[in-house]
Structure 1
Amino acid sequence: MRTTTTYDELVDVPTEVIVGLLHEHGERQLAEMRRQEERPSYRDLFLWRGVLDALAAAAAGERPDDPAVEAPRWLGGLVAARLDEAGRFSHRGGDFTTVRILERRGLVSPPHDDTYALALVGGLGGDPPTTPLRADPELLSTTIWRIFEVEGGGEVSLAAIDKYTSEDVSWATTVRVLIDSGDLDRDRVLDGCLAALDRDFGAFRAGWFSRLWVALTPSDDEAAVRQGALRSLLRSDVKPTVTLAVKELTRLATAGTLDADPTARALSAAVVSPVKGTAVAAVALLTRLHARGADVVPAASAALTHPHADVQRAAAILLQQAGAGDVVDEARDLLAPSVAVQVTTPVPRSAAGAQASLPVDAAEIPPLVALEGSDLTERLAGLLEDADDIPGIEMVLAGLASTGDPRPLEPLRARATKIARSAPREGTTTAWLRGQVARLILRSLGDDVAALPVSWDDETTTHTLPVRFLVGRLDEVADIAAGRRPARALLAAPEHATGWIDPGALVDRLLAAPDQVTTFDLVGALLRVHPEGRGEAVVRWAAGAGVPPDLDHVVRHALGAESAGRPRTSTRAWWVAAARSRSTTEIDPVLLEAGITGAGRAHPLDLRVTTAARSRTYQSFGNTSQTYVERSWSIEVVEPVARLVVDEPTGVRREKREWRTDALGELVGWIATIWPADAEHLLASLAGPVLDAAVGGEIEHDAGRVLAALGDHPGRLGHLAGVTLAAGLSAERPVDRVHAVDAVARLVGSGRLTWVQLAEGVTTLGVVATLTRLASSWADLASISPQASTFVVDTLTASLPHTDRTTTGMHAVLAVLEDELLRAGRPTPPDLQPWLREFAGTSKAARTAARLAAR
């Protein structure tokens, strides 16, 4: 039976015949559905087949056994469902045409709302679409104009349909053909395009109306009578729309038909467009309007706030021509230095001393205290809902361990059970710190709760090892709270949010209960011992009594004293922690002699990054060759360990696959506190998301967390830290670059990061860095303070000579360097001069390099 029928084929068929066939074929299809034992959700699909069969049968001359007058009760709901589907999912299958047959025969009366209009766009069918449109006069007279008013979304919009449709049957071509044939009014289409662009449509869908306007090539007269609508588009949030409006208004200015004064006022919005070319064109149009006597000062003044120097320069020159040079002078601090020295009146340099350096947090971090009773209950309740409170977790653990009392957890049992049973689901990280907190509560209350996976395959890798170690700490505290171990002061409880423990405090805790030491707690404590005050702590330790020999040797070694002891199998993890606490950069002779070798054990962490960029070719849709650049990175471990051990969290092995797998979420901040003395440990596990943020196109959820943790980390910054920060500054997502700028600013302000380290990181990142993104980050960083500006200049001075001069975005980086040198009144560093002089040609980068070389 045919499934495509036209309205004309049914003109001579009585309505009662069509209705009768709808009843019969609908029941027939429902019977077929029951025979096939299909689910009830398929009912509409089978009924629609019945509708198509009934119409085809009527057109073929078939007659029902029982003609009817009233349409089936299911028909109205079915049509509403088909319209909704056609308005959301595109298949150009002609469902809308079928609905129109039923509607024109008076069998249904669907509302002509947004859904109806989108169903026309997505379900008209026809090859070409002009055929069903011309066959239905009402569509051409009323309904088709609604497509200029409804945005659509997902699969169904004019833009989405045309993107995946050949041009000869696209909606754009259909509209143009109907205009040429006189079926559609050209003026009304032009008005509809501008009206659609003035709505709040998204950029992708608004683009269809811009392209249609351009394809219709409006004459100067047609554009002139619509210049009010074009001026209104200057305020649009869609950048291509503003660009179109500026071009069209500029065309009218050339034709001499542009109203000068209202256009000059309206251009205040366009001159600050983030698209530099659009803003420059808007200022150029203002300049032409100034020649015609329009007041351009307000709009040109607004252009001075544009971040790009070319826009500022053009606006400043225009203001000077308009006799408003004082406005330019007053805006001196807003201008790029290269613009300010050219267009403002020179101002004597202040004799005042240099400004203060980047502020450093001077306030003491409140010490962490063990929580008990209702305070513990309240804090844990909050952690069950949002585990991004690492100090809170540590205070809860300290409280549970010191009291050994699980009763404050009882009110949380039901909520913890629900969270634990839900398990990690879509939208949560695999390791899932909230789930770990819930498991802590239930195990502390005596319940038997299975361990949660730390990754999709639950494998222990360099990425997941710190998580397993932290889970080990949680399990030890749960054993204390459940009465399986005696209550005691938690050795690893940090005194501050950064993770540090005062050496004297650790000694006091150990001497209070030297026979109750557990492995994860002691390892965690040793790695957190602050380097200052260890000498005094050794003296206090030596005066203690009742300390087991193995523990005595380990603690002496960690605090930097001589020790005659040697590692045994049962104390191996203690010794590894003691060795890495003793020094982050030296090889430990005791472990080396004992054969406990490898990065993070006898050997310090030494992690080296290599990057590569390779051109790749593939066959795209249409069998055309496309070329792209594949950027990659890898981390090499000097002296990698052969096997990872859960209670030795500092160990790092060489991974066979990518270092990063699942996102760790809130766990990132906790991992950062495991070993406060060495930030390389954090990055051994978590540099991957930041490096991927610079070279890949996917959202890296942990990148911002890693950069924030790195910015606050008090420990050693090695090679990997420099590369990670450079990668953050070059990240694809602006929010990640903001985190990177903030991290660098904090590290520079506290004296923990030097320009030498970051320059090495930038150089190592090399070919996988994106200079335009780096330039944006350098400008943001330099704007924070004079100290940060100097840091940027020094970093660029050291890194630029290692950069290919022809790299895309070079001009943007050189422009930042020029601005900061001018701002500080510094000459171009001599070390950079030879490299700058080797630029050739007349590109923007070459011209900027020439100016820098001449300073």
Structure 2
Amino acid sequence: MTALPTNLSELITGLHGLPEPERRKHAPGLLRSVRAITTDSSSDAHVRWGEIALLQVALAGTATFTEIRRLGRWWAVQIDPELGAAVLLDRRPAWLADYVAWLLGADETNPPWTLVRALVQAGAIERPPAPLYLNALVTHGRDIGARRAVQRDPALLEHEFWALLTADTGQESLRAADVSNEWTKGAGFNAVIAECAADGRMPRERVLDALLDGLANDMIAYRATWHTKLWKDLAPTRAERIARVDRLRVLLGAAVEPIVGFAVEELARSGVAVPAADLTPALAASTKKTVRTALKLLDEAPAQAAIALGHPDAAIQGEVLDRLERWTLDAAGRDALLLQLDVMAATVRPRAEALLGLALPTTLETVEVDLDDIPQPIQEALNFGGAVPLAPVPGEPVLGEPLDAATLDELAESLGTKWTRDERLVDLILRECGSRAPFEGPLAALVERLPWFVEHQHCEWPIHVAGAWLTGTVADLSDRPETWHRRLFAASRRAARGEAGRLLALPTHVGGWIEPAVLVTRLREAADADEEELATALLRIAPDGRAPALDAAADVEGRPGALLRCALGGEPIEDAGPAAAAARAVAGVAPVTVELTLDLDGVRPIDRFVLTHDGPTGDGPLADLLAVTEPSERERWHQTPDQFVYPGRRDLGAAGVINRLGWNLDTEYTMLSGAHELFPPLLLPTEPIAPMTARCLLLALGSSVADEHLLAADVLIAAIEDGRVDATTLAHGRADLPAIKPNRLAPRLQAIAEAGPLQRAVVRDLLDLTIEAAPARSGPLLVLFDELCAQTATGPRASREHLGTLKHKAAKALAKRAGDPPKHERQLALAARVRRARRWMERT
């Protein structure tokens, strides 16, 4: 490591009382020392913090602010706070306030509070702007505890703690500070201020006022929770609430709903009348409790009450109608009710129509369906007039958009971020590796960086293949390589030798598919076929055009040719290698099945779903894919399934995702399940959705991870519209429903139902088929089921007997409903199946 001056302590001591010219003589040498450290790449260059902290003190006493600023704030913030404050107070430079503001912004997660506070208390600087200054105080209290901070510096109660209640605390929030460390419980800011309000160190009346003033300052919901909690901990009396009615009314106009809800609740407890106009934000809130409390505060005001009819919950709408039916509906109330009529739930809309004295007709979407051009074999294969057939349907094409080849410019840009599994980049490297000319052109900027990745990392990303191309050296494999890593290692060896050619398993089409005829050509031209690469290529063979490809593959020589012909439907091959296992699986000679059972008694979320398979084990892409479905495979449980290794069996990837979704069905812990890779290909109308995949989608609707449940909803909306999914398909997940929280599943199913009349019918029928398997607290699902039946004038069929055993209000309403699904729904379902059939016809 670069040596630091050995006499730093003596130098700092000797600075006391020195005139400015004498101080400045020491600056050049100190600045050189810092620059040497900041450019030192040795492993111990950043560990001698004590010496670096002293060096920063010395600079504070000798350098100018401009010189210190040029070195960077990250280094400057390492200054020893106590010595730094002493040196700066002795020197008192004119730029001290600017220096402090600069320091406070250097590291907002750990700012130098002790130094800044010493300068403020000494009168050397004014208090810095609130966000930076208070952020430093909050982080200080987070680290040592708020009680200890007050014990060390009682003067904080004179100004700073009051400012915490009303002003912006910057990056660090009081709530986060109080909950960040277990050891601070009971000694956080909340507890200390409550103690001070109790013993008089902070007058209670002023604390209550300051809390409300702070909430009025456009506070975000997360931070507002700290203020409302302290208010409740202080337990204000009715008289104290009445004295602050005006402040509470101001909060009714807050930008965030939790503050509005708090204000409504406190006003209700005060017992003071609130003008109807003030309650508008609360009546329009999304939180049911807030709306209900506002309705209780509302005197006879039909127009204001009608605002709450915009709430999506039918129960809230019913409570509003209860009031409107009791009150006199004036002209303003009638107009307001009429404006909300279209957004009201079907279960309560008849009551609103009765109040208005009208009955609006329901318009149904009608579709004319022409089947004359659809061949009978396709109609039979797709089960026209019946349930969606189990996928994959034999003979149905799957190829969609072809993949474009990568370019050298794209490679140069992508390798700047090494974390990518884009196989097109590996293919491009292999095509270009016969020459190093690109490193004098588009890839020139990578020449200095690539050798480091080969020397210091395992072979896991395309950047390591590029490094092998440049250096002729191959990065080592990790101790437990996946198929992807082994494929890259084989590609790296080719690139190092300069053996130009295509990447055998590169998909030709979106979704990971390889057109059979293209693979025949690649194998015919390949000088050698790596086992992992060949196995992956075989697993990706699309069903489109296999028969002519089998004929064309007759002249492909050797074992690769025999395996290819086996995969295409030719003579089965007996072989123990991974490529042979892949060929037999693709041909259906040795089909792989996966079974899923639910175990809610599992100790950990990962144990909830028990998956078993009868496929190969050991090495190879198929074995790797199957291994990640098994919780018992502790070495692989953290790996997400490779969704594109076997596109013909998305259900195997779905099983791997299900194995991880158990974590995300709770709220305490989440993990990356792989759904973000599995679901996007399923948006394509050509992708079949097998029962296991449908179960995965249904489970993902209950996930706490937004990317998962939003993607699952998008896939299901598209798949219903494309004729690939119906209620019977999704009902394969019936046994999994006990693992999903009904209050999560219901709104996400509702979002799907709102996408269109066909989606609405599918969700309704799904609930009819599965509601008996739902958890005991299935109220949200029953309410949604009742609403969808009301919208379609339909009664339950499969679930009617079960509903008769339930006491829930919605179940009783459902039991009284009758009617068969309207004819237009069958037409819409048939039209979706026709669209699927025409896609089939276009590709054959």
Q: Structure 2 length normalisation: TM-score?
A: 0.70
| Residues 214 and 408 of structure 1: CA distance in aligned 2, closer, same or farther (over 3 Å) | same
Of 496, 505, 515, 1:492 maps to 505
Cα distance between partner residues in 2 of 1:551 and 1:128? 74
Distance 1:742-1:50 versus aligned 2 partners, 3 A rule: closer
Kindly indicate whether residue 804 of structure 2 is the aligned counterpart of residue 837 of structure 1: yes
Which residue identity does 1:192 align to in structure 2? A
2:752 match: 781
Contact 1:644 1:652 (8 Å CA) reproduced: no
Q: Which residue does 1:820 correspond to in 2? A: 788
Listed one character per residue, the Cα deviations across residues 361-412 of structure 1 (whole Å, up to 9, x for unaligned) are: x9995423445xxxx112213432468987x743771684499555345532
Offset of 1:196 from its aligned partner? 0.3
Displacement of 1:812 after TM fit?
0.8
- Equivalent of 1:340, from 345, 349, 354? 349
Q: What is the identity, as a one-letter code, of the residue corresponding to 1:605? A: T
Corresponding residue for residue 5 of structure 1: none
Q: Please, which of 398, 402, 408 is the counterpart of residue 367 of structure 1?
A: 402
The residue type paired with residue 770 of structure 2 is: S
Q: Distance in 2 between matches of 1:526 and 1:48?
A: 65
How many angstroms does 1:529 deviate by?
2.3
Query: 2:228 & 2:240 partners in 1: Cα distance?
Result: 15
2:258 paired with 1:240: yes
What is the distance in 2 between the residues matched to 1:235 and 1:775?
30
Match of 1:608 among 563, 585, 596: 596
Contact 2:609 2:659 in 1 (8 A): no
Shift of 1:191: 2.9
* Distance in 2 between residues matched to 1:369 and 1:95, nearest whole Å: 59
CA contact (8 A) 2:439 2:447 kept: no
What do residues 640-675 of structure 1 show as CA deviations (whole Å, max 9, x unaligned)?
Answer: 5342236976664856345855566xxx7xx43322
In the alignment, the residues of structure 2 paired with residue 416 and residue 661 of structure 1 have an alpha-carbon distance, to the nearest angstrom, of: 37
Asked if the contact 1:612–1:631 (Cα under 8 Å) also holds between the matched residues in 2, the reply is no
1:682-721 correspondence to structure 2 within 5 Å? 682-695=653-666, 697-709=668-680, 711-712=682-683, 717-718=689-690, 720-721=692-693
Q: 2:694 is matched by which residue type in structure 1?
A: G
Closer/same/farther in 2, CA of residues 283 and 710 from structure 1, 3 Å limit: farther
- Maintained 8 Å contact 1:234/1:266: yes
> Offset at 1:354?
5.4
What is the CA distance between 1:604 and its match in structure 2? 1.2
> Offset of 1:550 from its aligned partner?
3.8
Q: Spell out the pairing of 1:262-661 with structure 2 (5 A cutoff).
A: 264-285=276-297, 287-288=298-299, 290=301, 297=303, 299-316=304-321, 321-323=329-331, 324-344=333-353, 345-350=358-363, 353=366, 365-370=400-405, 376-385=407-416, 393-394=423-424, 397=427, 400-401=430-431, 407-408=437-438, 410=440, 411-412=442-443, 414-415=445-446, 418=449, 421=452, 436-451=461-476, 453=478, 458-460=479-481, 464-465=482-483, 467-468=484-485, 470-471=487-488, 474-475=491-492, 478=495, 482-484=497-499, 487=501, 491-511=504-524, 513=525, 517-542=529-554, 545=555, 547-548=556-557, 550-561=559-570, 563=571, 566-568=573-575, 572-583=577-588, 588=589, 602-613=590-601, 632-645=607-620, 652=627, 654=630, 656-658=632-634, 661=637
Secondary structure class of the residue paired with 2:600 = strand
The 1:502–1:70 alpha-carbon spacing in structure 2 relative to 1, beyond 3 Å, is closer
In 1, Cα distance between equivalents of 2:759 and 2:207: 55
CA distance in 2: counterparts of 1:159 and 1:178, whole angstroms: 26
Matching residue of 1:803 = 774
Q: CA deviation at 1:238?
A: 4.2
Report the Cα distance in structure 1 between the residues aligned to 2:269 and 2:190, rounded to whole angstroms.
Answer: 31
Point out where structure 1 has 5 or more consecutive residues left out of the alignment.
1-19, 25-36, 55-68, 291-295, 589-601, 616-628, 841-845
2:166 maps to 1:149: yes
Aligned partners of 1:690 and 1:706 also within 8 Å: no
Q: How far apart in 1 are the matches of 2:425 and 2:79?
A: 62
Pairing 1:759–2:759 present? no
Note closer, same or farther for the CA distance 1:473–1:413 as it changes in structure 2 (3 Å cut): farther
Q: Distance in 1 between matches of 2:616 and 2:755?
A: 42
User: Given that residues 707 and 739 in structure 1 are in contact (C-alpha distance below 8 angstroms), is that contact kept between their aligned partners in structure 2?
Assistant: no
1:563-621 Cα offsets, whole Å, 9 max, x none, are: 2x74356xx444323212212xxxx2xxxxxxxxxxxxx34132424332368xxxxxx
For residues 389 and 537 of structure 1, the distance between their equivalents in structure 2, rounded to whole angstroms, comes to 32
- CA distance change for structure 1 residues 229 and 448 in 2, over 3 Å: closer, same or farther? same
Any gaps of 5 or more consecutive residues in structure 2?
Answer: 1-12, 18-47, 58-77, 370-384, 386-396, 818-844
CA-to-aligned-CA distance 1:481-512 (integer Å, 9 cap, x gap): x5336x4x65534332123333334444445x
Structure 2: how far apart are the matches of 1:322 and 1:799?
A: 45
Residue aligning to 1:594: none
The amino acid across from 2:695 in the alignment is V
CA drift of 1:678 comes to 0.8
Contact 1:383–1:393, Cα closer than 8 Å, also in 2 = no
Distance across 2 between alignment mates of 1:675 and 1:491: 15
Give, as a single letter, the amino acid of the residue that structure 2 aligns with 1:111: R
Q: 1:329: Cα distance to partner?
A: 3.8
Who is 1:230 aligned against?
A: 248
Which residue is equivalent to 1:111? Answer: 127
CA contact 2:461–2:488 (8 Å) conserved in 1: yes
* 2:195 paired with 1:174: yes
Aligned letter for 2:474? V
CA distance in 1, matches of 2:135, 2:689: 57
The offset of 1:288, in angstroms, is 1.2
For 1:722, give the aligned amino acid: A
Cα drift, residue 766 of structure 1: 4.3
- 1:679–1:721 Cα contact (<8 Å) kept: yes
Contact 1:80–1:110 under 8 Å retained in 2: no
Distance 1:420 1:834 in 2: 71
Q: CA deviation at 1:245?
A: 0.9
Residue aligned with 2:704, SS: coil
Aligned partner of residue 635 in structure 1, secondary structure? strand
Question: 2-side partners of 1:347 and 1:478: how far apart?
Answer: 72
Asked whether the 8 Å contact 1:680–1:720 carries over to 2, the reply is yes
1:755–1:794 contact (8 Å) kept in structure 2:
yes
How far the C-alpha of 1:335 sits from its partner, in A, is 1.9
Deviation of the 1:728 alpha carbon: 0.8
Aligned length: 704
Q: 1:114-143: CA deviations, max 9, x gaps?
A: 36656777669998999999x86xx66655
**Cα gap change, 1:421 to 1:852, in 2 (>3 Å):** farther
What is the CA distance between 1:448 and its match in structure 2? 1.1
**Separation of aligned partners in 1, 2:624 and 2:160:** 68
**8 A Cα contact 1:801 1:832, kept in partner:** yes
CA gap of 1:148–1:475, structure 2 versus 1, over 3 A, is same
Partner of 2:393: none
The 2-side partners of 1:412 and 1:420 are apart by 13
Question: Partner of 2:214 in structure 1?
Answer: 196
Q: How far, CA to CA, are the matches of 2:424 and 2:740 in structure 1?
A: 38
- Equivalent AA in structure 1 for residue 291 of structure 2: A
* Residue identity opposite 2:753 in structure 1: A
Label 1:338 to 1:236 Cα distance change in 2 as closer, same or farther (>3 A).
Answer: same
Query: What corresponds to 1:731 in structure 2?
Result: 703
Contact 1:280–1:310 (CA<8 Å) still a contact in 2? no
Match of 2:64 in 1: none
1:209 matched to which residue of 2?
Answer: 227
SS in 2 for 1:497: coil
Q: Percent identity over the alignment? A: 21
- Give the distance between the partners of 2:240 and 2:399, measured in 1 at CA: 69
TM-score, structure 1 as length reference: 0.69
Asked if structure 1 preserves the Cα contact closer than 8 Å seen for 2:611 and 2:655, the reply is no
CA distance in 2, matches of 1:166, 1:449: 56
Rounded Cα–Cα distance in structure 2 between residues aligned with 1:51 and 1:498: 60
How far apart are 1:779 and its partner, in Å?
1.1
Please give the secondary structure, in 1, of the residue aligned with 2:415.
helix
How many Å separate the matches in 1 of 2:79 and 2:527?
76
